[in-house]
Structure 1
């Protein structure tokens, strides 16, 4: 089961009031990388409470408010509003939103304990074209031999600690890379450097997602400027 929070250590320049970079674990990096695979509808649903601007929210609301009589009989609103997440995302913390299905299951119709169709859907409650019943019986997905999930799951390996830059550039961390960055940021006095450990729960995750669409200094905006 995915945990509900992850954490990372921020290295802060107190003089310029900015985050230089963060040290992060595999779990935190998995979360950031899997943002790229989130369906647009899922992103909109997460950002609605954050006062998301733009017309995509209106498009989402149009589907949400559309009367069922205008929708094809073999379609449901959930197909667009609550799309399935990619296979493997179930092992990533923070991304298992309520009412969002994962791609590890497919669904078929069922009658008297038997599958009633050789066609499946990755969206529950889809109407079967053959028997007109809803496909609500889960059929487990089995990945081919070369694509089996590892025991630890996620996307990256637990080999090293990772470095996350303020603009979300991610790389494996090393002593040399840390020193190089301090020189790049023209840090003359290490006394001005502060370390702060932060927890990334669902609320912070949504703020980070919003900031990543608007800013080049995401960590600073989310954890120092509190935007």
Structure 2
């Protein structure tokens, strides 16, 4: 009789205040802390997809990110630059996937990156283009159907920064210890204390004394060992988005209905003092009495800003928001990185810098993306060795791994957002020439007068004299504010643009009053 494989599990030591039914803290090693740090590498779109599923806790919403994600799923691909664009937004690549592949419990079900080429061009004398999508046409007109096997050096290379020459050299050094280097983030011997709000601190006397100082109950706390499955890890991911006590809510199965306070939304004082230079304009239709934005009429450049949100690692968002996203547990987890000693606690001395500059995966950045979140780059010089099968390598120093393969071809990566393989990159997701309507919750659809009128009459029930149309200049600060609001509210446009409404253009409102007509498209 065949044996059934047991699901992966990890153990976690927790100290509980039984009187108040709350987790005081947990003591953990590599397995659990690696999982916590992997949360920071998840793209926002991946998080929205994961938390929409059942676990021990009910599915939950991730602010406006869930609405944005769902609207992409409902969008006809003809409004995007290619069919691959929709797939990229619904399954955004994790730029740190190599580090996460050996986690004891990995809840991210995004499929590993694959590489495709045109088989005919590989055989020919001319160098072939390689893509991470097979839904493309080669320059010769044939499909990208030939699957390539990447060597470890290629998988490492996108994690590097600097010039191609230096990147190639660094990758060569890392390849020698690839199995060890890419297994998670912290060392096997490190021990950590995790508070209920997900502050992570290396275990030492000072940490213990702080825990003793913060005890609120006179009853001695109880220690127990909990066995965690994938469902519990998914519970934890949900809890850190909606709760200030993530361990208690996920481990003790305590119902928690915390809703982020939309009135407390605020950018940092430093950002409020900066003058934002608008690079695009959007028209918004507002309810005067409620000061609420109902819809925005936008072009593809603004839609690309919103679609890019889905590709951003949440740790990169924390960086651009200076560790103040409004998600308390995520803030604490991200800011805890400053407590780690890169030589004593982390697998690599470069790990802190990598978390401090998390990037989107290669080719996932839109060409007009305003926010300072970069993408990883493949080395410019790639070669393909073939003898029966084809292998992808990065840089001449890696050829020694494939000395039995006697056919060599130079290849170049191309942007999967294209329909026909091109060497240049930097395309956006939304197709040019399309006018879109964006709701307050960031759901996106092609502009339709019928949809606008139907919503005004049935959903919002806003009389004509209550409507006001304005034009808002959108720059980096406006996009940043919308991004922050999108993670903690269901009214990203109203809340995110509230501080910028005083600088808007009001000609449209005056035109409406004089003409008695509302422009909807």
TM-score, structure 2 normalization:
0.38
- Alpha-carbon distance, 1:222 to partner: 1.3
1:58 aligned residue:
67
- Counterpart check, 1:67 vs 2:97: no
Looking at structure 2, the residues matched to 115 and 72 of structure 1 have their Cα atoms a distance apart, in angstroms, of: 30
Structure with the bigger RCO (C-alpha within 8 Å, sep 6+) is: 1
Aligned to 1:181: 211
- Residue aligning to 1:25: 29
Q: CA deviation at 1:154?
A: 0.5
Greater Rg, structure 1 or structure 2? 2
Measured in 2, the distance between the counterparts of 1:136 and 1:46 equals 31
> Residue 224 of structure 2: SS of its match in structure 1?
strand
Superposed displacement of residue 165, structure 1: 0.9
Structure 1 residues 69 and 170: CA distance shift in structure 2, 3 A: same
Residue 252 of structure 2: aligned partner: 224
**Paired residue total:** 219
Aligned pairs for 1:43-122 within 5 A: 43-49=47-53, 50-52=59-61, 54-73=63-82, 75-85=84-94, 86=96, 87-95=98-106, 97-98=108-109, 100-102=110-112, 105-111=113-119, 114=122, 118-122=128-132
Moved more, 22-31 or 165-174: 165-174
Shift in Å, 1:84: 1.8
Summarize deviations over 1:107-130 as a string: whole Å, max 9, x none. 1224269478643334x3341452
Matched, 1:171 2:201: yes
Q: By percentage of residues, which structure has more helix?
A: 2
Aligned residues of 1:18 and 1:224 also touching (Cα < 8 A): yes
Aligned partners of 1:90 and 1:96 also within 8 Å: no
Structure 2 distance, partners of 1:139, 1:178, is: 49
Does 1:213 pair with 2:241?
yes
Aligned counterpart in structure 1 of residue 8 of structure 2, from 4, 15, 21: 4
| Deviation for aligned residue 1:157 | 0.5
**How has the CA–CA distance of structure 1 residues 38 and 132 changed in structure 2, closer, same or farther, with 3 Å as cutoff?**
farther
1:19 shift after superposition? 1.0
Alpha-carbon distance in 2 for matches of 1:63, 1:185: 47
What corresponds to 1:155 in structure 2? 185
SS in 1 for 2:25: strand
5+ long unaligned stretches in structure 1: none
Question: Structure 1 residue 176: deviation in Å?
Answer: 5.3
**TM-score, with normalisation over the residues of structure 1?**
0.82
CA distance in 2, matches of 1:57, 1:135: 33
Moved more, 20-29 or 67-76: 67-76
User: Secondary structure of the equivalent of 2:12?
Assistant: strand
2:298 matched residue in structure 1: none
With over 3 angstroms needed to count, the CA separation of the structure-2 counterparts of 1:96 and 1:126, relative to structure 1, is: farther
> 1:12–1:73: structure 2 CA closer, same or farther, 3 Å change rule?
closer
1:193-204 residue pairs with structure 2 within 5 A? 193-204=221-232
SS at match of 1:35: helix
Q: Is the 8 A contact 2:48 2:65 kept in 1?
A: yes
- Aligned partners of 1:9, 1:222: CA distance in 2, in Å? 14
For residue 145 of structure 1, the aligned residue among 162, 168, 172 is 172
- Is the contact between residue 6 and residue 27 of structure 1 (CA under 8 Å) also seen in structure 2? yes
